[in-house]
Structures are given as C-alpha cells and as structure tokens.
Structure 1
Amino acid sequence: MDGPVASIVLFAALLHATWNALVKAGPDKYLTTLLVACGAGLVSLPLLPFVAAPASASWPWLAASACCQVIYYRLLAAAYQHGDMSQAYPLMRGAAPLLVALASVPLLGERLHWRQDLAVVLICGGVLTLTILRGASAGADSAANRAARRRATLYALLNAAIIAAYTMIDAAGVRRSGAPAGYTMWLFVLTAALLLLCSGSRWGELPAYARTHARVALVGGGGTLASYGLALWAMTQAPVAAVAALRETAILFAAVIAAVFLGERLAPGRVLAISLIACGAIVMRLG
C-alpha cells in the first residue's frame, strides 16, 4: 500500500470515529443516529442515477443488510446512551472481526491461521481487561452507574454481532451486485427509509431536532458515506486485508476523540484494553 492510499484509509478511519463522536455528543442519541442515517441516505439518493444499479441477485442481500443496519443504529444509540465512547466503540469495532472469523469456521469451513489465533487472544484480553476494570471500580460507583455500564457493554457486544452479520451479508451481496458503488448507495438509502419507518412515535420529534442539529445530518451523514466509500475505493488500489486492517485504527482515533473532545477519562488500564483490542482487530484483518 503506497502512501496516498494509506493516508486515505486513515482519513476514512478518522471520519468513522468522528461521526460516532457526534452521536455520543448529541443530546438525544437516537435522534442523532437517525439524522446521521438520513443524512447519508439524502446524500446518496441524488447520486443513484449516475451509478450502475446492483444486479437483481444482490437485492435479497441488500435488503437483509439494510435490516441489520437499522438494528445497528438502534444499538449504537443505546450503547452511547449508557456508556462512554471509549468503552463502547472498541467493543463494537474490535469484537466484530473476531466474531466474523469465528463464524467463518463452522459456516464456511475455514480454518484460523495462527495470526488469527493471536488476534483472538488479544481481543479477548482487551475485552476482559475492560470488564475487570469495570468490576474493580464498581465499589466506588453508584448502583445506577454500574447498571449503566453493564447495559453499555451488553449493547456494544450485541452490536458487534450485528456488525459481523452485515459484514458477511455485504461481502456476499456486493460480489453478486456487479456494482459496488450502486450497492453502497442503495444500502444507505434503504437503511434511512427503514429507520424512519421504524421510528414510531419519535417521528414527530425529528423535524424540530433536525432544525437545531442540521450540521449533524450533513457532517455525520457525509462522514459515514465518505468513510465507507473511501475504504471501498482503497480496496481497489491495495490488498483488501491491508485496507481493512489499517481501517481498524478508527478504534485509536475514537479513544483520542473521546478524551480530547468529549472529556472522557482514559485511565492507564482502559488505554491498555483499547490498545489490545485495536491490535487484535488489525492482526485479525491481516490474518
């Protein structure tokens, strides 16, 4: 991977961490995720006539991925509602490649390389470290804080499973589409439409919230679309495994953003846990 491509992948990772920070910083986590998803859909919609349409064989996969994305956004909002970004983000992004690798053994008959075995140890060590740290600090916290952190961990790990699911779905769908750009644009449009349909009574709150947080829709929606699109483009210029591994630096970007801009405290133990998860995710992608 040459320098310019590596720089673009790092920028894509930064964009992903940034739009997650916007969700965490939003006063209403669910409505903020809704704005981000709708922003990505609105940016994608006018571009659809200019990209090739996905092949018909990919549409069932596209629909399944969009359903997973709806669950993903809901769990994302719930995780950030109850826990720190520096806790939830590493769990969501780091555990997902672990679950993909483990699921590929029984589902696809693949065997784990020794590097992937090492990655499993690193990621599990990081998750265990976060759990131990949570338990060690429990005595000084209120019962409400302890319960909130438990919920954040649960939502983050559930979301890791959803990320793993739509990763495997998209891997199959985009290969059948014959049009990666079109597949991506339609995915964002369908996700936004489904998320709006599933908003229930909160639908009425969105217009007023959007008026006061319009930049979230623009920056967050554009950020998530650009992050995914740039990573997709980079995979046409460099080995997929190398791009995917470098993109996992988003975990480290998220930790820095959480500390500098969100005011979250990164104790040495949490830094160690985040580093273990990030290194494990990178090694897993390279494996």
Structure 2
Amino acid sequence: MSTGIIIIILAAAVLHAAWNTIVKAAGDRTVTLGLVALGHVFPGLILVTYLPFPAIESWPYLLGSTVIHFGYFYMLGQAYKHGDLSVVYPIARGIVPALVSLWAMLFVGEVLPAQAWLGIALIAGAIQLSSWAALRQGVGRAALGFALGTGVCISAYSLVDGVGVRLSENTLGYWAWHSLLHVFIAAFVGIRRGRAMLTLPAKTWVIGLTGGFVSMTAYGLVLYAKNFAPLGAVSALRETSVIFAALIGYLLLGEGHPVRRIMAAIIMAVGVALIALAS
C-alpha cells in the first residue's frame, strides 16, 4: 500500500473521529444523527448535477449500501440508548476490520498475508485498550447486542461500497449519489422525530449539518482508497478513528487515562506499519 493512500485513509480517520465527537457531545443523539445524514444530502444534491453518472453495474451496491445504512443508524441509535458511547463505540468499531477482511476474502477473493492480519489484530486490540477503563465496568446485554449489530452493519456496507465504487467507473459520481441517498435516512428520522428537530436551536442544526459534511468528506476519502488497496486493510486503517477520538478527548477535553491512550496509539502505529508493509 502506497504512503499516499495510507495518508488519505488516516486523514479520513481523523475526520471520522471529529464527527463522532460531535455526536458524543449531542443531547439527543438520534436527532443529531438525522442532521448528520441531512448534512450529506445538500452537497450531494449539488454534486450529482455536475459529476458523471456512476455505471449502472454499481447501482445495486449503491442501493444496498443505503439499506444497510438504515440498519447502521438504527443499531447505533439503539446502542447509544442502552449504553455509553465510550463503551459501545470501541466494541462496534473494534470488530469491523476482521469482519471486512473476512467478507472480502469470502466474497471478493482478497486474501491478506499473515503480516496484514497481525496488523489488523493490533489495531483492534489498540481500539479496546484506548477505552479499557470504560469497558472494564461492563456492558449490558442489550448494549452489547446493538453494538455488535452496529459493527456487522459497518462491515457490510464497507464491503458493498468497496465493490460498488470499483464498478462505478467514477468514484466521485458514486460518492455524490451515495451522499444524496442519505435523504431517505434523514427523512425517516424527520418523520419520527420531526417535532424535536423543529424545536432545536440554530446552533445544533449548524453543528449537526457540519458533522454530516465532515462525515461525507471522510467517507469520500475512504471510497477513493478502496480503488487502490485491499478492503480489509482500508477498514483497519479507517478504524484508527477510535484511537484518534480517544486522543482528542484527552488533549481537548481532559478525558481518560493518558498513558493507556498513548500506548494504544503506539500499538496502532505498529499495526498500521505492518499493514503498509504487507499490502
């Protein structure tokens, strides 16, 4: 994997950590997730008018990804309802790299070398270490179930979009339509929580929509990288966002144990290096 692609994915991970920090700070996370989805729609609507239409072969994957994202937003909202983000999030994201690598091997024929699998394992371990203080307090059965369900959804849309963007013949066009199709998720949240959204202060709208734009940008970088690198390796590098979020929490908010989080960052860096050298 080239240095440029690694930098792109890690930049996406930092952006991903940023928008999840926005969700973490929100009072009503379901409504905020709806605003994040809406934040994809407006720029997507503009972009689809200028960018080439993605190849018809990619559309089943675009639509499939939209359906899976419904499941993702539902599972994530329920997980936050039953458990703290500091517990739910590392569980959900920690299982994703291994699952994506497994799905890619079974359905796409991408077989990673043992060194890359070791790197993936180190990153997954670092994710858990970064939030160990919260995880050791335990997690309820419902929170655990929805967290695992969230991780499965993430791994599923990661695979589907990885195949879809390669078939699209135009990454930017796929990205634009992928963003625009978030309108169904935003509409679903709006129908269910419309009154709550209408009473939100303007600041919350700005924060939520900004989070959506940041999320859209991060995923665009990931989609681009999937054209040039194995899906499992891309997923593992992307999930370093959990550790970036932990470091942001410590540096900006004074949260957590600094030594543990620095150790997690070091382990993550070793995992990234192993993946980079192996794929």
SS of 2:182's equivalent in the other structure is helix
CA contact (8 A) 1:248 1:278 kept: no
CA contact (8 A) 2:68 2:153 kept: yes
Q: Aligned in 2, Cα 1:191/1:127: closer, same or farther, shift over 3 Å?
A: same
Give 1:214 shift: 2.0
2:248 is the alignment partner of 1:257? yes
Q: Deviations over 1:51-97 (max 9, x none)?
A: 01112222121111011112222333333444454443333333212
Q: Deviations over 1:85-115 (max 9, x none)?
A: 4443333333212101123344445545212
Rounded Cα–Cα distance in structure 1 between residues aligned with 2:18 and 2:249: 10
Aligned to 1:54: 54
Aligned to 1:34: 34
Rounded Cα–Cα distance in structure 1 between residues aligned with 2:90 and 2:143: 12
Rounded Cα–Cα distance in structure 2 between residues aligned with 1:156 and 1:274: 23
CA contact (8 A) 2:87 2:135 kept: no
CA contact (8 A) 1:67 1:194 kept: no
Question: What letter is aligned with 2:91?
Answer: L
Question: What letter is aligned with 1:220?
Answer: G
Runs (5+) with no aligned partner, structure 1: 139-145
CA contact (8 A) 2:240 2:268 kept: no
Task: Identify which of 232, 257, 267 aligns with 1:266.
Answer: 257
TM-score (norm 1): 0.77
Question: What letter is aligned with 2:229?
Answer: V
Rounded Cα–Cα distance in structure 1 between residues aligned with 2:9 and 2:77: 25
TM-score (norm 2): 0.79
Q: Aligned in 2, Cα 1:283/1:84: closer, same or farther, shift over 3 Å?
A: farther
CA contact (8 A) 2:90 2:128 kept: no
Aligned to 2:220: 229
Q: Aligned in 2, Cα 1:279/1:152: closer, same or farther, shift over 3 Å?
A: farther
Task: Identify which of 151, 157, 174 aligns with 1:166.
Answer: 157
Aligned to 1:71: 71
Question: What letter is aligned with 1:60?
Answer: P
Give 1:6 shift: 6.0
- Give the alignment of 1:101-116 within 5 angstroms: 101-108=101-108, 111-116=111-116
Identical aligned residues as a percent: 34
Rounded Cα–Cα distance in structure 1 between residues aligned with 2:152 and 2:275: 16
Give 1:269 shift: 5.6
Q: Count residues in correspondence.
A: 275
SS of 2:255's equivalent in the other structure is coil
Give 1:19 shift: 0.5
Aligned to 1:205: 196
Rounded Cα–Cα distance in structure 2 between residues aligned with 1:77 and 1:6: 30
2:10 is the alignment partner of 1:19? no
Aligned to 1:142: none
Aligned to 1:240: 229
Question: What letter is aligned with 1:95?
Answer: I
Q: Aligned in 2, Cα 1:274/1:202: closer, same or farther, shift over 3 Å?
A: farther
CA contact (8 A) 2:12 2:221 kept: yes
SS of 1:78's equivalent in the other structure is helix
Rounded Cα–Cα distance in structure 1 between residues aligned with 2:124 and 2:46: 43
Question: What letter is aligned with 1:65?
Answer: S
Q: Deviations over 1:188-237 (max 9, x none)?
A: 2112323423654312322222634122233212101121223445667x
SS of 1:240's equivalent in the other structure is coil
Aligned to 2:182: 191
Q: Deviations over 1:169-197 (max 9, x none)?
A: 11221222222111111112112323423
Rounded Cα–Cα distance in structure 1 between residues aligned with 2:194 and 2:90: 30
Question: What letter is aligned with 1:61?
Answer: Y
Q: Aligned in 2, Cα 1:51/1:173: closer, same or farther, shift over 3 Å?
A: same
Cα RMSD, aligned residues only: 3.6
CA contact (8 A) 1:40 1:225 kept: yes
Q: Aligned in 2, Cα 1:122/1:218: closer, same or farther, shift over 3 Å?
A: same
